[in-house]
């Protein structure tokens, strides 16, 4: 995922993290300087949904505008699966197990 908060803030005319922090505090989200710096300068490893809701409210955007998917990175993590020509990936191969039938319902 790519974190897009700084760009969304710039679109609203918010150029400094201190200004964004003040707006968030006015909306009920008090962040430390360190947490605000992490949100402003990089991609957070985790973010609380309540915090995301307040950030979206302040910036007037949807979560999908702040969190941008990166399918190429996900595909790079799975080297054994190839895509077909139409873009669909084949699902995993499931083979039935024979022998022990204890998991079958009684007759």
Is 79 domain-assigned?
no
> Could you tell me the CATH number of the domain that includes residue 24?
1.10.260
Is 91 domain-assigned?
no
* Counted domains in the chain: 1
Is 104 domain-assigned?
no
Domain span at 50: 2-68
Per-residue pLDDT of the chain (107 residues; tens, 9 = 90+): 889 999 999 999 999 999 999 999 999 999 999 999 999 998 888 999 999 999 999 999 999 999 988 888 888 877 665 555 555 556 666 666 666 666 666 66
Is 35 domain-assigned?
yes
Q: Look at residue 18 in the predicted model and tell me its pLDDT.
A: 94
Is 53 domain-assigned?
yes
Is 44 domain-assigned?
yes
pTM exceeding 0.85: no
Q: Look at residue 8 in the predicted model and tell me its pLDDT.
A: 94
Q: Look at residue 32 in the predicted model and tell me its pLDDT.
A: 92
Is 78 domain-assigned?
no
Q: What are phi and psi of 64, to 5 degrees?
A: -65, -20
CA distance 36 to 17: 7
CB 51 within 8 A of CB 29: yes
Which burial class, exposed, middle or buried, applies to 101 when counting CB atoms under 10 A from its CB (0-12, 13-18, 19+)? exposed
Q: Look at residue 106 in the predicted model and tell me its pLDDT.
A: 64
Is 100 domain-assigned?
no
CB 17 within 8 A of CB 37: yes
Q: In Å, how far are 9, 42, 53, 54, 90 from 3, measured between CA atoms?
A: 12, 7, 15, 16, 30
Q: Look at residue 20 in the predicted model and tell me its pLDDT.
A: 96
CA distance 93 to 61: 41
Q: Look at residue 43 in the predicted model and tell me its pLDDT.
A: 86
């Amino acid at each position: 995922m790519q974190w897009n908060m700084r760009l969304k803030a710039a679109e609203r005319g918010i150029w400094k993290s201190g200004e964004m922090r003040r707006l968030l505090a006015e909306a009920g989200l008090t962040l430390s300087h360190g947490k605000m710096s992490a949100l402003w300068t990089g991609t957070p490893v985790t973010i609380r949904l309540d915090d995301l809701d307040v950030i979206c409210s302040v910036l007037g955007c949807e979560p999908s505008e702040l969190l941008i998917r990166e399918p190429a990175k996900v595909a790079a993590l799975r080297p054994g699966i190839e895509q077909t020509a139409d873009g669909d990936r084949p699902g995993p191969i499931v083979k039935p197990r024979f022998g022990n039938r204890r998991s079958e319902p009684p007759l």
